[in-house]
Amino acid sequence: VIELDKGIGPLPKNGDRVYAHFKVWTNGFRSGTPADSSIKDVRPYDWVLGQPTRRMPVGFDEGAQGMREGGWRRLIVPAKLAYGDDGLPGTRDGIYTVAPNTDVYVDLLMMDGGSGQCDEL
């Protein structure tokens, strides 16, 4: 975990709904087109902290632990804590945006850690 900005907002705990923007690369930070990104989504990605999802896998969720609202972290996530044996399939059949068993590099920005500012988006 590389802490770029600690943030000054609320500190969420496991079980809290949080909202974050993220970008995922496979060849290093800011290396080419991101394999996945929430930046172009209408709203930040939301999930319950401590309950990983397909788009916010275990390593990302663990990397978000202890982040304050407004925080920015860079994570180097090993394949087994990212997309594992399944990889991250792309939009075309048989094409992966993240190949199986690939380490990933993640920029994670905590947009709402409990203030509720993203609830209405």
* pLDDT reported for residue 111: 97
Answer for the pair 106, 64: CB distance below 8 angstroms, yes or no.
no
Distance CA 105, CA 119 (A): 28
What pTM value is reported for the model? Answer: 0.92
* pLDDT reported for residue 64: 97
Whether the pLDDT of residue 8 is over 90: the answer is: yes
Distance CA 2, CA 82 (A): 17
Distance CA 92, CA 71 (A): 34
* pLDDT reported for residue 2: 96
* pLDDT reported for residue 92: 63
What are φ and ψ of residue 64, in 5° steps?
Answer: -85, -15
What are the tens digits of pLDDT across the range 59-102?
Answer: 999 999 999 999 999 999 999 999 999 999 886 666 779 999 99
Helices (H), 1-121: 58-64
Six-digit token pair at 76?
Answer: 């180097």
* pLDDT reported for residue 25: 96
Long-range contacts, stretch 83-89, CB < 8 angstroms, 24+ apart: 83/57, 84/57, 88/24, 88/35, 88/36
